Each structure stands twice: as structure tokens, then as C-alpha cells.
Structure 1
Amino acid sequence: MIPTNPSAPAAVGSRPRDRQVSSYADLSRRVKAAGLLNRRRGWYVGRIAAVALALAGVVAGVTLLNHSWLVLLLAGALALVLTQCAFLGHDGAHRQMFGSNRANEIAGRVLAAGAAGLSYGWWMGKHSKHHQAPNQLGVDTDVESKVLSFHDEAADGRRGVLKWVTRRQGWLFFPLLLLEGLNLHVDSMMTLTARTSVKRRWVDLALIATHWALYLTFLFLLLPPGKVAAFVGVHLAVLGVYMGGAFAPNHTGMPIVARGAKLDYLRRQVLMSRNVSGGAPVSFLMGGLNYQIEHHLFPSMPRPNLHKVRPMVRDFCAEHGIDYTETTLPGAYRAIVAHLNEVGLRARDPFTCPVAQQLRT
């Protein structure tokens, strides 16, 4: 955990925080001069058209295979396509797609709420806090979970069944992702129906209602009720594994920032983020989230430009002595499981020996 302010004034010369701000401004100027912040409208129009065709293919496949249990394979395919829609909704929310904010919001809301069935306004609220202070207690809700304990403070408060889960949470991580799709939909709807200050709440509700009405009507017209239930179950399970598996490597297992700690923007975004190597295939699989460091430094940068700015950011971090974390996808998952098990192990001990704690670290 990062407990204190690393940007306290130096004894001589300018403060480290001021130097980091100046350095980041210089990097931003170079990135802008290279045209990497320019919109990539054609790329996004092509990607939206591709997911629309893929969705049409799933619909056609369900129509043809409605008599067979093989139709459940298409439930998994539907989850993959709708997760890609959610990734595009994420890009629209960050104003990556088009030149106007209105066009980005419309595209993002339709893709997130209309296609994927998840509230755009709900996601914007929690994701904005995440970008403001990734992995910081009291700010980033992504480090809080009803089931998993991502940090010691959460683990210490577990009782009963949750305490049992915490002790084994590293090994339970992937099985629990099977429920994440359902959890996301429930959280989304609970926020919308709680009369909160979600922007354009009724638009999201209308889009989500339309999504489920079309989805379930289509299935019940073609499949018996048992197959409909199985189809929805497989869809939500695959959605949870895919979406959770894409988002978890970005920050889970990276340093946790204490409540109230002050960090300059550059270090706050880089030190708490993890990149995943693997090039274009991994980038497609993760919706560009594998370039998490670059995305956090330049959140409005179009997804297809992130790999281009990566060498600049990596060299910049090396020049300024800032740790730049990158690993493979299996390596990221190993780090996640190890971190969750470590938190669970500490929660298991009624007494933590300082020497043992040091050796563990």
C-alpha cells in the first residue's frame, strides 16, 4: 500500500511533483504533435459495423439451431459480441470515437445500454472515480467488492461465509467470474431504480428495457422455456468471465493507495496500472484495455493509437525512473491470484508476526 505523499517538497530546487507535472506536459505536447490524440472515426465506424454483422450472425445461427442444444454455443458467442459492444461503449464514454461530445455519448449509450444491456450513466459514474484515483481507498469503487477482498481493510471486516471465501479467494476468483455478468446487470439496474443522480437515467432505463424485451421475445418465439433459461444462463456466465477477465488484469494486484494520500497525476496513473503484452490479438481480445497505462495517461486517445504511444510512454517512464509494469496475460492472472491469496492469508492469521510479514512481502 502507498501510505503517504511521495511528492513532498525537496530540500533544494523545485518540488518533485512540480517536475513530474512539467515532464508530463512535455510528453503530452509530443503526443499531440504526433497526431495520436486525433479521432479515428473510420476505424470506429468499421468496428461498429463488424459487431453489428457478428450480432446478426448470432441471430441467424439461433434461428437455424433452435431445435438443437448446440444453440447454447451461440449463447457464448452472443456474450463475446456484446462484450465487444461494451468495450466500444467504454471508448465512446471516453470521447475516443468522434469529434463531438454528443456523438460520442449517443454511440456509447446505445452500445452500452441498448446493445450490452448495462447502464451507461451507472458505468460513467463509477469509472470516472476510478480514473480520478485508481486503486485509492475511499475513491475508487473498483477496489471494493461485496464478495472479494482486494485489500487488507476489506478482508478484516469479513465474517461468516464471506470470511471463508476470503481465505480461498485467489482460487475462487475465476469460478466467481461466472456470476459477474449477473452481478453487473443487477448493480446497473439497482443504481438506475434507486432514484440516484444518474444523468439521463430514463434514457438508460428505456434502452435496457428495449434490450431485454427484444432479447427475451426473440428467444421465447424460437426456444422452449428450459432452453431459454439455459441460453440466458450461459450468456451471462460467459459475459462475466470475459468482461471480468478483461478488466481484472488492469489494476488488481497493483499497489493500493491509502485514504487521503496525495500523488502527482503521472505516478498515480502509471504505478497503479498494468499493461498486458501480446500485440494485436490481445488488444482485440481485451478491447484495447491491455494498454492500460497509456489509456490512463491519455483517456481520450482512440484505441487504435494506444499501441503507437506505448514506446513513447515506456521510454519516458524509464527516463524518469518510474516503474512501468507489463506482463503476459497468464502472468497477469498469476499476479491476481497471488495477490488475492496473500490478502486472504493475512486475514486468516489471528496474529501477524512482523518478521513473517517481511519475509512474505
Structure 2
Amino acid sequence: MEFLSTIQGTELPEINTPTFLHFIPQLLRNPLIQNPTPQTHQYGPFPSQQLDVYIPPTGMNPAGQHTKPPVFIFYYGGGYMSGRKQMSLLSPGGLTVYSPNLTSLLSSQDIPDLRDDPTIVDRLYHQNIGTFLASHGFVAVIPDYRLVNMDSVYDIDPENDALFPSGAEDVTLSMKWAVNNLSEIADTETVFAMGHSAGANHLATAILLPEFIPSDPELMSKLKKWCTLSATFDYIHSREQRKVAWSRYFGGFERIGERCPSSLARGLGDGEAGKLPELLCLHAKRDHFGAVDPQRRFWDAWVERGGKGRMEVVRGGSHNHMSTVYGVGCGDEEVEWWLVDVLRWCLEQ
């Protein structure tokens, strides 16, 4: 954890590569992450509509007082334009857009296992999240969703490219799939969901817009609580790349203000948020300003409309926008505290 405080800056181009380089060697020593057995399923008709399911190890008791493991669904981030349930870090098409030099930097590290087989870093993310959740007595579900096409010239392909509200559609479909297909191995009456960064925005949209999760009363009754981590609930200009991605997802720069989660929360009627599941709204102490300030505005609107829950800074004072996710599974309890806290909150009556 101490190393994270030495990383200069808070924006993704500044933090992403050093955070990766710090945690990857530690995750490579975790046999659960290296040898997972997730089951991959198609939850919708489009190529990106796939999800991975992680089951608790044999002999593991279900979390809490449940006779079967509760369902925990995690929606990763990636600025609307990148990310995968199993990220191929070393393939040209799989590289995170924020760490284009990661391959060369990793190859220069003195890591014997990595030197012998560079592909062992593939799929560390987000297998680290799935295996951690499963090891704590949950059936973990990590869906893919459609991403923004960042090509300079392109035509929208609705089967592959994200365009508002496709994120909410993918969230709703994947949650319905989990509830309808996992009852033999999980307590599908008890579902928790968490999104990180752009994934949190998609989750919030699916919960706030009445045509998605709220349109299915049975699904709503099973979603007990939800959590957002470092969400970017409205737009703050920084990098041109962010402006392009947001503009393409929301259907034009001028549409962001009316379609972003902060605006959707303000658009709820009096008391309507009180009818929605309880929310844990989190950010890191060293998060970038594009997450911290919008979160305050979203939270104010949520509470004003009757929403229940808590807004907190995660434990671990040096965490940045990505270390919360990249560090899970490293074995350092201080790094992983925040996710243990989330799971405890989920199980509170």
C-alpha cells in the first residue's frame, strides 16, 4: 500500500502503468488467480454479451447465513471504450488504452515466471475479482458489455458498439440471466451488484431508468443492494480521448448532460429513489477529480430523492482510481480491505 502513495498524479495515464507493474508480480504468486475455472456463458444474442461465473471452492461455506452462496455481479470499468472480463494484456487488441507501453515494461521486469511465459499475465484481470469473491462464499458473475468504437471513421454497429443506453441493456440482461440460470448453485433470491468507473455508470443507469431493472418487479426484489466504485457520474473535461468516448456513447457531446447518471438521479420524482435498492457509493482517497466531484453531485441528488445508503472513501488511504481493482488478490489485507468491507455491508441486515 505504501508504494501507491509514491505514484505522482491521479489521472489514468499517470497511475495506470505503475499500478499495473506493482501488482502484477504479486497476483502471479496467487494460485487461485492462476488456476481459476470460470464457466463462460452467453447472456444475450450479441458477441460481447458473455459472462464468466466463478463458484466457491469445494467445502467453502456460503457467505452470511445463506444455505447457498449469494450472487455478486461485478461490472468492470474502462472509460466506455476498453476492458474485458478476462483482459488479454499482452495482445495488441486487448491492451488497455491507458497503458500502451505495458508489454515492453513487463518484459523488462525480473520476474522468472513472466520471462518463461509472458502470457501468464493474460486474464489476471478480472479473474482476480472473480476468484476473490468466490473465495468469500459468493457466486461471482463478471459480464462483458458493448464498448464504444474509437476508430476515427466508423458506422455504429449495434451488435458490437456501445451507444446509450446499451450499457443499461447489457447490465439488465446479464442480471436476468444470472437470476434465471444459477439457482442450482446460488441463492438467486439474493443478488448484489457493483460497478467500477464506467461499469458503475452502466449499473446506475439500469437502476435509475424505469424501462430497465425497475420494469421487472421480480428482478428488483432480488437485487438487495448495489455499490458504485469510483463512478464518473457526470462529465468533467480532461483528456480529449475521454471527450470522444463520452460523446460517442451518449450520442453527442450535447446529450451527456441529460443522459448521465447524475442527471437521471435528479430526474427522479420525490421519494422515488427510496423505492430502489440501498446504495454504497465509494471512491478512493486519491481518485481523479472526474470521479470525486461528480460523485458528490450524484449523491446529493440520490439523497434528495429519498435514496438510502452510504457514501464513503474506501479504506486504504493511498488507493487510486485503479489500485482498488488491480490490487485485489495480491494478498495484502490493507489493499483488499475495501472489498471485504463491501461484502460485509452487503450481508448486513
TM over 0.5: no
Which structure has the larger Rg? 1
Higher relative contact order (CA 8 A, sep 6+): 1
Q: Taking structure 1 as the reference length, what is the TM-score of the superposition?
A: 0.30
| Greater percentage in strand | 2
The structure in which a higher percent of residues are helix is: 1
